[in-house]
Structure 1
Amino acid sequence: MQEQELLALLALKKAPLVGDIMAKKLLREFGSAQDVFAQNVKDIAAIDGLGDKKASFIKHKETLFDKAKKELEFIHANQIKCKVYNQDDYPERLKYCIDSPIVFFEKGAIDYSNPYFLSIVGTRQITTTGAAFLEKFMNEIAPLNPVIVSGYAYGVDILAHKMAVELGLQTIAVMAHGLNQTYPRNHSAHNEDLMKNGGFITDFWHTDTFDRKNFLGRNRIIAGMSEATVVIESASKGGSLVTADLANGYNREVFAVPGRVNDKYSIGCNELIKQAKAHMLTKTADIPYILGWKERDIAVQKQLFVELNEIEKRVFQFLKKRDKELLDIIALEMELPVHQLASVLMSMELKGVVQPLPGKLFTLA
């Protein structure tokens, strides 16, 4: 992208009362950010939804461009990449979110070509039970090589990032401030590891410091980048529930880990499930099954989610070739007594590997 167009986009990004949705409407109407700033107040105000008040930013374009020049200097000085919503290298899923940023900033080595993006969010006060589930989940999902997206906060976020690094997975931290700072500050100890295994993104300028009001903007990117959002633990209120709502609004899948009804940090997850806003996540295999990853030629990884004994492995390979088969036929062709096979299939069903169908048919889950 040409430098002058990027400069104009940055200026438009800072235009008061405009926002990303309206900015895209202006860009569609006039063709480019430079052309937007070539208009007068009357032309801008005539666009549906703007009016004189919102269009008044055009009167202050010199100030906006001065600010944009300083931001562009910071971008060049710190080797920050800019991702623009109508360019080919913009994340595909985020591109289709109505309020996605017209431009965001990136540090690190992020590969957006990986089709499996998974956001993991939850409470900052993660319990030992939640941490144990997350660690098991991360180890079991790792063979699918997903990109793990989170918000670099205390609790669930930072544990998900650290586990991703340990497992060699790409991980992206979405920040609620500029890329010249780290919040929480003590998480800066992990910055180098993340830069090697993914990186940091934000649509806030380096002059934007940490502020709680920035969380909504940060969370829309977390929800929008990924095919699904996983909520590990949450109280009755919290940012992870906001992220889940945003994901639902983008028509993305949401998964929540259930817990005991009296546990403070299970209330939010239980409510998501009860209100049909999230799938119940009780085992790792729920993710590829519900997302349809099996149909995308990764079903061969299914056996990595659980430990199978030798007979179970044989049954798994048999069903992988047959898609579905009758109990009696499986027993006959595998030379197993029906009662023994029924016990094996029950064990595999409890492990989430096989699924019974009407008429004594069985298939892989």
Structure 2
Amino acid sequence: MSLIHQLALTFIKNIGPVLAKSMVAYAGSAENVFLIHSSKLEKVPGIAAKTIKQIDFKAALLRAEQEAAYVTKHNIDVIFYTDARYPKRLRACNDAPVLLYAQGKVDLNPQRVISIVGTRKATAYGKDLCKELVEELHTYGALVVSGLAYGIDVAAHKDSVRLNVPTVGVLGHGLDRLYPAAHRSIADKMLLNGGLLTEYPSGTAPDRENFPARNRIVAGMADATVVIEAGIKGGALITAEIANSYNRDVFAFPGRVNDEFSEGCNYLIRHHKAGLLTNAADLAYALGWEKDELIPKKPNQLMLAMDLTADERLIMDVLGQTKSIAIDELTLKIGMPVSLLTMNLLNLEMQGFIRSMPGKAYCIS
């Protein structure tokens, strides 16, 4: 599927992610959306004929070409919603982005994902709770997701980096900038065992209206959202409400009744919108986690010999010699046609022997 056409879908004015995905489903691919006659798109449920007639396909494609050049130059990964690397938990949400821009090294589909959110004006109490939670989550092998904002968000990222816990920051702007700029140092460190993620193309400023939309990605990517200190209004409670709308678990640490930044947490607990949390063990119990399930079992060597083809065994031998390898390098090492290699990689991934990584790379599961 053409990267240009995938990008162009997001540049069509007045067409959001829900309608864009309906158009792809009807046309069969992103490319076909731009190839079939526009009158046929009028049959897509939810799209008015007037909307179709106002679409400027040429302008969308032109903007997409510019963005494709930018992401290629700056080594930014573009993950379309049909891609196996797209966060599967997020894909299940009706309003999930059509595509994501990503930087870093992280598996967006690990066994366990927890989002941590909270006030931008975190107290020492909140920061201590965050530190203890991340330290305990480390023993459960969870990916930590947050929004790289001031307060609890950046505390969660910093604690994750300190413990080498994979962590992803979801941004409300393009990857050509970082807001707040003061978090550039921690963001750079996150790229080594985690990354940055956004639905916004280059040139998108951190405008106020982008952040509630950003919060749906934070909520949608995770098995559960944890709120650590929050006022009665603000992004943390918005994220919790969105998580509830997705039928995802929400947990909150309680606080003293007179504390401003415990008011939101106590509200969520009081109205049964969040489970009461005191530590990671509470979270693990509620989610049915077991520590002995952490380490994925390596494929049995006898199974490999019996069940894999000669080409698949060759691929596994090469992957076994490195942590991960890009598909281009793998092609050169093996000398296999790209089309055949891609098919074999897909078969191995579907069987659970390997997994795809950002940057079109692969590694053994």
TM range (shorter): 0.7 to 0.9
- 1:110 is aligned to 106
Provide the C-alpha distance between the structure 1 equivalents of 2:70 and 2:292, rounded to a whole number of angstroms.
42
Report the residue type matching 2:42 in the other structure.
Answer: A
TM-score by length of 2: 0.78
Amino acid at match of 2:29: S
Structure 2 counterparts to residues 120-199 of structure 1, below 5 A? 120-199=116-195
Match of 1:76 among 72, 79, 82: 72
Q: Residues of 2 paired with 1:114 and 1:65: CA distance? A: 34
- Between the aligned partners of 1:283 and 1:111, the Cα distance in structure 2 is 25
Structure 2 match to 1:7: 4
Q: Distance in 2 between matches of 1:11 and 1:97?
A: 22
In the alignment of these two chains, the number of paired residues is 295
Q: Distance in 1 between matches of 2:54 and 2:95?
A: 20
Partner-residue secondary structure (3-state), 1:107: strand
Structure 2 counterpart of 1:274: 270
The one-letter code sitting in structure 2 at the alignment partner of 1:101 is P
Q: Which amino acid aligns with 1:32?
A: S
The aligned counterpart of 1:27 is 24
Does the 8 Å CA contact 2:115/2:219 hold for their aligned counterparts? Answer: yes
Which runs of at least 4 in structure 1 moved beyond 6 Å after TM superposition?
none
Conservation of the 8 A alpha-carbon contact between 2:140 and 2:291: no
Identity of aligned residues (%): 39
Matched, 1:54 2:71: no
Q: Which AA in structure 2 matches 1:36?
A: V
Give the structure with the higher percent helix: 1
TM-score (norm 1): 0.78
- Cα deviation for residue 262 of structure 1 reads 1.4
User: CA–CA distance in 1 between the matches of 2:5 and 2:293?
Assistant: 43
Shift of 1:144: 1.1
1:113 positional shift: 4.1
User: CA 1:296–1:255 in structure 2 vs 1: closer, same or farther (change >3 Å)?
Assistant: farther
CA shift, 1:298, in A, is 5.6
Question: What residue in structure 2 maps to residue 338 of structure 1?
Answer: none
For residue 201 of structure 2, the aligned residue among 199, 205, 225 is 205
Cross-structure match for 2:253: 257
> Offset of 1:57 from its aligned partner?
4.5
In structure 2, distance between residues paired with 1:215 and 1:113: 23
**How far apart, in 1, do the equivalents of 2:232 and 2:11 lie?**
34
1:239 is matched with which residue?
Answer: 235
Superposed displacement of residue 140, structure 1: 2.1
Cα deviation per residue 1:53-81 (whole Å; 9 max; x = unaligned)?
A: 321353x1111111000000001001111
Counterpart in 1 of 2:36? 39
What CA distance in whole angstroms lies between the structure 1 residues aligned with 2:187 and 2:269? 34
Higher Rg: 1
